[in-house]
Amino acid sequence: MSSLFDILLEKPLSDEWLKGLLFASFTLHMIFVLLTIGTAILSIYYFIHTWWGGKLGELRWDKEILRTFMAHKSLAVVLGVAALLLIQLGSSVPFFTGVNLLAPFWMLIIVFLVIAFLSFDALGHKIDVHHYLHLVFGIIALIFLLAVPAIFVAVLVTAENSDKWLTIIANGYQLGGPLAIHWLFRYLHVLGAAIVFGAAFHYFFSTREEIEKKKSILKWIVAGLLLQFILGIMLYSSLPEKPDYIINISLFVGVTAAAVLLWVIFTINKDSALNIKKVLPIVMLILVSMLLARQFIQDTTFVPIEKQLQVNAKAYQKELQPYHQEALNKYQSDINIVYDSGGTIYLKSCTFCHGENADGNGSEAKNLAIPPEDISAIRTTRPYLHKILVEGIPGSAMPYFTFFDRYKIEALINYLDSKYYVLSLPEPVPVKIPEAALQQAQKIFNETCFKCHGMDGRGSALSKGFQPPPPDFTLFSLSPERTFDVITKGYPGTVMPPFSNLPEDVRWGLVKIVNEKRKP
């Protein structure tokens, strides 16, 4: 695990503070998450209930419930920000790894939330749509909404079980086996809590003291609580690690509070209502103790790993220290270079192959089978050079430079022209060539060279697929000396063979023939 280490920068707060703040913000977040989900489930249920002739009449109670969705979901989102910030700071590696291993699902949360929120808000505001449409819309929104906690729970389960990361990868980046069972119960437990909290909220705030509604929704609270007992037992038995006493104490408090809540519900009179002053503290006690247990369970795996990761981070930091100053100096010099003049562009982007003197002897030249061209010998046209620069030369190392806009490419061409006259016509052949040699050269061109270069020097059908292709002699030539050099030695790494066996005069004759094909 030595190459697994915490993020190298210092944490802004101590681990204790981070954990404390995380608990507080997560609790706030969860209150509204549970209300959001509970509200969504209840509103869809009561829509169906009303529609199928339920006793609650024409009031469209589902709308009343759904009206609160806007506030719940908005607060759930914003309050989640702090929890996300704190867990990413405090438990960077386990959390980000959990996120990353389930990355596609994690990123889909955004899409799911947008679909669910827009749909529910549309249902809540666009008061009357057709029943079937409303139902379909609502159910789709509910499915997307319910998928979100499923993903969050899966990410947390992954983050907390670092010993199972390899198994998860081997399983195709999915939870499997006991972990999947644990995930399922944990997820269902969240939904159960959402039903209890959502129902409790609407019992007090959406029933307008109508006893029929209160009775109806009380059933949800009771059913939710009973479901939570069963799911809780299953979740407890599926925990990957045996919980220690502090976890058990928190759970005991939560379970007892839940039992007290049931007792309170079952002891109220038939026609009276629950008292919010009695219920609220109990409900909050359940939430806080359960979330405390959750945090303790998480910490039993996170804390030892984080300690190790911080030790590893220190060691890695130490290994990198010798490079620190060097890196800063390089950064300083890098940001002082602006690629806006032909000279700079040449120096930075071309020199390592073509050399400081543009003679093709850059530091990397020796590593290339096809040597970089001696730019100082190039005699070509502006469009042809531009084409080479923006298309590269296929079959060679020469890349294309379209990341330089045309102004920069033009500046580079101007620079090369001012320094090496690359846009001039080739100079006349510096030696006198006897007529016979010239004739022999012409014969050789007509019999041999034309096969690739074409009679007109623009390439032949044969050489069309060559990589790199021969240049177009009507637009591109080299200085006579360099042309002579290429004819004599060939062009390494390409199809162009050496013709050193030809008499020198004849080779100069070929230079003349080739360079005369060049048009101004």
Partner 1 sequence: MEFPIFQVPYLGNAMTIALDAVLHVIIGHGLAIGALTMVVISEYFGFKKSSRDWEIFAKEYLKFLIIIITGVGAVTGVGIWFITSALAPRGIGSLLRVFFWPWFIEWIVFTSEVVVILIYYFTWDKWTGERKKKHIYIGLSYIFFALTSAFLITGILGFMLTPDGWPWDESFWSAFFNPSFLPQLLLRISGSFALGAIFSVGFLFATSREAVFRKEALRFFGKVALFSFSAAVIFAWWYFSVIPSTFKTFAIFAVLRRFSQQPEIFYIITAISVFIFVLFVLSALRGSTFLSRVLIIPVLLISIGYVAEYEGVREFIRGPYIMPGYMYANQVLLKESPFLDQAGTLENSYWYGITTNSPNYINQGAYLFAQDCSMCHTIGGINDIKKRIKGRTEDGILVILNHTHEMVPFMPPFSGTDQERKIMAHFLYQLSNENIKLGEPSRFAPIKGGKDE
Q: Measured between alpha carbons, how far is 147 from 190 in angstroms, rounded to an integer? A: 12
Amino acid identity, position 471: P
Pair of tokens at residue 5: 């280490």
Measured CA to CA, the distance from residue 386 to residue 480 in angstroms comes to 22
Please give the structure tokens belonging to residue 377. Answer: 């010998």
Report the residue from 166, 272, 501, 520 that binds partner 1 according to the rule CB under 8 A.
166
Contacts of 317 (CB under 8 A, 6+ apart): 8
Burial grade of 209 (CB within 10 A; 0-12, 13-18, 19 or more): exposed
CB 96 within 8 A of CB 45: no
Question: Between residues 410 and 505, which has the closer beta carbon with respect to partner 1?
Answer: 410
Say whether residue 129 binds partner 1 (CB under 8 A). Answer: no
478 DSSP assignment = E
Q: Which stretch binds partner 1 (CB under 8 A): 207-215, 338-346, 416-424, 455-463?
A: 338-346
Residue 1 touches partner 1, criterion: CB under 8 A: yes
417: Cα separation from own chain's centroid:
44
Site string for partner 1, 447-476 (x = CB under 8 A): --------------------x---------
# residues contacting partner 1 (CB under 8 A) = 100
**In contact, 434 and 440? CB cutoff 8 Å:** no
In the numeric block, the tokens 């039903």 are attached to: 195
136 lies in the site for partner 1, by CB under 8 A: no
Burial letters for 263-293: b for 16+ Cβ neighbours within 10 Å, e otherwise? eeeeeeeeeebbeeeebeebbebbbbbbbbb
Smallest gap from Cβ 373 to partner 1, in A, equals 13
- What is the nearest approach in angstroms of partner 1 to the Cβ of residue 286? 24
Q: Does 326 contact partner 1 by CB under 8 A?
A: yes
398 binds partner 1 (CB under 8 A): yes
Please state the closest distance from residue 177 (CB atom) to partner 1, in A. Answer: 15
Instruction: Among 14, 237, 275, 367, indicate the residue that binds partner 1 (CB under 8 A).
Output: 367
Closest C-alpha among 315, 314, 311, 310 to residue 91? 310
Q: Which two tokens stand for residue 18?
A: 């981070």
DSSP-derived letter for residue 483 is: H
Which helix H or strand E contains 380, and what residues bound it?
A: strand 378-380
Beta strands in 316-387 (DSSP E): 378-380
| Tokens found for residue 409 | 């490419």
Task: Based on the shown chain and the rule CB under 8 A, indicate whether residue 336 belongs to the binding site for partner 1.
Answer: yes
Out of 51, 204, 236, 339, which residue is the one contacting partner 1 (CB under 8 A)?
339
Tell me which of 353, 444, 487, 511 binds partner 1, using CB under 8 A: 353
Among 107, 133, 140, 276, binds partner 1 (CB under 8 A): 107
Q: Among 163, 212, 241, 340, indicate the residue that binds partner 1 (CB under 8 A).
A: 340
Q: How far is the CB of 333 from partner 1 (least distance, A)?
A: 11
> CB of residue 5 vs partner 1: minimum separation in angstroms?
5
Is 477 strand, coil or helix? strand
Residues 401-440 within binding reach of partner 1 (CB under 8 A): 402-409
By CB under 8 A, is residue 337 in contact with partner 1?
yes
Nearest CB to partner 1, comparing residues 269 and 325: 325
To partner 1, the closest distance from the beta carbon of 77 in angstroms equals: 5
Question: Would you count residue 133 as binding partner 1 (CB under 8 A)?
Answer: no
Near partner 1 by CB under 8 A: residue from 370, 425, 462, 475: 370
Task: Evaluate the CA torsion angle 210, 213, 216, 221 in order and state its sign.
Answer: negative
Q: Assess 82 for contact with partner 1 (CB under 8 A).
A: yes
- Of the residues 135, 239, 273, 397, which one makes contact with partner 1 according to CB under 8 A: 397
| 12 lies in the binding site for partner 1 (CB under 8 A) | yes
Which one-letter DSSP state was computed for residue 471?
A: P
State which residue, 25 or 477, has the beta carbon closest to partner 1: 25
Strand partners, 476: 380
23/508 with CB nearer partner 1 = 23
- For residue 161, the minimal CB distance to partner 1 (Å) is 15
